[in-house]
Structure 1
Amino acid sequence: MYDFTACIVTYNTPASDLERIIKCFQKIKLNFKLWISDNSETDNLKFFFEKTDDARIEYIFNNSNKGFGAGHNVVINKLISNSKISEFHLIINADIYFEENVIEKIVEYMKNHNEIGQIGPKIRDFEGKFSYTCRLFPTPANLIFRRFLPFKNIVEKMDYDYEMKWANFDEMMEVPILSGCFIFSRVSALKEIGGFDERYFMYMEDYDLCRRIGQKYKVIYFPEAEIFHEHGKASYKSKKLMMFHVKSAIKYFNKWGWFFDKERKVKNRKCMSKYKKQKL
């Protein structure tokens, strides 16, 4: 049994972009298995991992691109069908960097807190700037309408609550949504919810997964661990990716509710009541 397993989904990802995160994994002092689930049209990355020659890393060529969640489900389904593989699983982006002992710290904490289904670290960009990566459950205004609002002050006011900028991010918190760039979950939680909902091709699948885990377990922001993410907000720079984002947001609200979402109302209010600080 591994201490934890992990998966990176790739799509036409250059091998050079994977070298940094592979080196991060190779410094981990735990028994792990890392899968690379490749949604690309060709299996060019296969030769990179053959040269890497690390038995802990396995390359899977999916020969199709059915979406981000589907790529991860290839591995999640392995874990669900054999619970003896690992107790914990990490879903992680390729554009992540972390120092030594970060994963060890998270695994140790999860082992001592069985009530937690998903945990997320403090996140900074590569220049060291802190990223507000915890979220309340979104409203249509948070995800769709704000993109088309010309009034910057209104958008900033909406984001202030939605991105929990009133909270103390040096303290541990139970939150509605964690960043999808680093999803460290209990395998039993993934088994209970059935992995990613593959109706989302790209975007919002992480929100949906986190929300379903939170219905059965605690979802915890854990600032004792810190990672770095080269976050580019690609959907703000590409019309094609923006449309993927909007379509996924529509699917999300069709599933969970547009303006009438009791769970959103209750959990958001509870989170704000518990953690909102008065900033002078």
Structure 2
Amino acid sequence: MENIVITGSIVLYKENLAYLHKTVDSFLNIPLPNKKLFLIDNTSDKFYQYVLVEKNIEYIPVEDNIGFGSAHNRVIYRINRKSDYHLILNPDVSFKPKVIPKLIYELNKKDNVCVIAPKVLFPNEKHQYSCRRYPSISELIARRFNFLAPLFKKTIQKGQYQDKDLTKPFFPEYITGCFHLYKTEDFVNLGGFDERYFLYMEDIDICKKIDKIGKKKLYYPQEEIIHVLKQGSSKSLKLFFRHTSSAIKYFLKWGF
């Protein structure tokens, strides 16, 4: 693969095809030359093999549901020394063509910033709290069980940086994983995501790893994207247990 400006990766498993097409179109409409999008298919039957066929798309069948982080890591050797920037993207995100060039410009302003993310909105344009402080156990429990939320209101608000002016750029502790734009070299040097997490918490974990190498994450609300946000663990018992398992692994790794 020739050296290109930007690569992106989307992990696929039981996706809403209308949302997915919007996401793919958003990437393909980025006004930059030499872009490539990797679609990593975690279905056992290679369901998405012929759903999206474009010259700037490379399809990667896994034929097993190996999880979010492990699937994104499948592209590391494909992008190492071959792209300048790499976008981790959820299959239910959309954005305007100007967003990526603007974020790249901001990302390049400081050497110690390795990842950037914009303001995130729901489809109804309501604000999503996508940059947060590292979670406590009590905050995670309160966010998962709505009836507890009023008891931990201040904890949740602090975790969501509601005490800050979120209209201005700043360096948050972590950025949710629906959209991470990295300098490719940094993503490769981080080793991608910790594959011990099947789903959930891997975005928080990689932000901890960024801290460990002395670099920063930039929240840049002057640009915005739309994210549908499935919130699967609050609707599915199986995903709830996945989230709980990931939380236990996270706190055992980084401390309580």
- TM exceeding 0.5: yes
1:42 aligns with 2:39: no
CA contact (8 A) 2:142 2:148 kept: no
Count of residues in Structure 1 that have an aligned counterpart in Structure 2 = 252
> Which one of 194, 197, 204 corresponds to residue 194 of structure 2?
197
Deviation at residue 66 of structure 1 after TM alignment = 1.4
SS at match of 1:161: helix
Equivalent position of 1:22 in the other structure: 24
Give the TM-score of the pair, scaled to structure 2: 0.93
CA contact (8 A) 2:8 2:38 kept: yes
Give the letter for the 2:102 counterpart: K
Equivalent position of 2:135 in the other structure: 138
Equivalent position of 1:123 in the other structure: 120
Q: Structure 1 segments of 4 or more deviating over 3 A? A: 14-17, 144-152
SS at match of 1:88: strand
Deviations 1:187-211 (A, max 9, x none): 2222222111100001011110122
Query: Which ranges of structure 1 fall in alignment gaps of 5 or more residues?
Result: 259-280
Deviation at residue 127 of structure 1 after TM alignment = 0.4
Structure 2 CA distance, aligned partners of 1:73 and 1:191? 9
Equivalent position of 1:224 in the other structure: 222
> Which one of 33, 37, 43 corresponds to residue 36 of structure 2?
33
Q: How does 1:246-257 map to 2 (within 5 A)?
A: 246-257=244-255
Moved more, 59-68 or 187-196: 187-196
Change (3 A) 1:143 1:151: closer
SS at match of 1:46: coil
The RMSD of aligned alpha carbons is: 1.6
Structure 2 CA distance, aligned partners of 1:207 and 1:152? 21
1:70 aligns with 2:70: yes
Structure 2 CA distance, aligned partners of 1:173 and 1:243? 33
Deviations 1:69-105 (A, max 9, x none): 010000123223xx1x112110000100101200111
Percent of residue pairs identical: 35
SS at match of 2:239: helix
Q: Give 1 or 2: higher strand fraction.
A: 2
Change (3 A) 1:157 1:98: same
Q: How does 1:143-154 map to 2 (within 5 A)?
A: 143-144=140-141, 147=144, 150-154=147-151
Structure 2 CA distance, aligned partners of 1:138 and 1:112? 29
Deviations 1:195-232 (A, max 9, x none): 11100001011110122123321111011211010013
Change (3 A) 1:149 1:35: closer
Query: Which ranges of structure 2 fall in alignment gaps of 5 or more residues?
Result: none
SS at match of 1:174: coil
Change (3 A) 1:138 1:251: same
Deviations 1:131-169 (A, max 9, x none): 111111111112236645844421222201111111111
Change (3 A) 1:145 1:21: closer
Change (3 A) 1:213 1:151: closer
Q: Give 1 or 2: higher helix fraction.
A: 1
CA contact (8 A) 1:149 1:155 kept: no
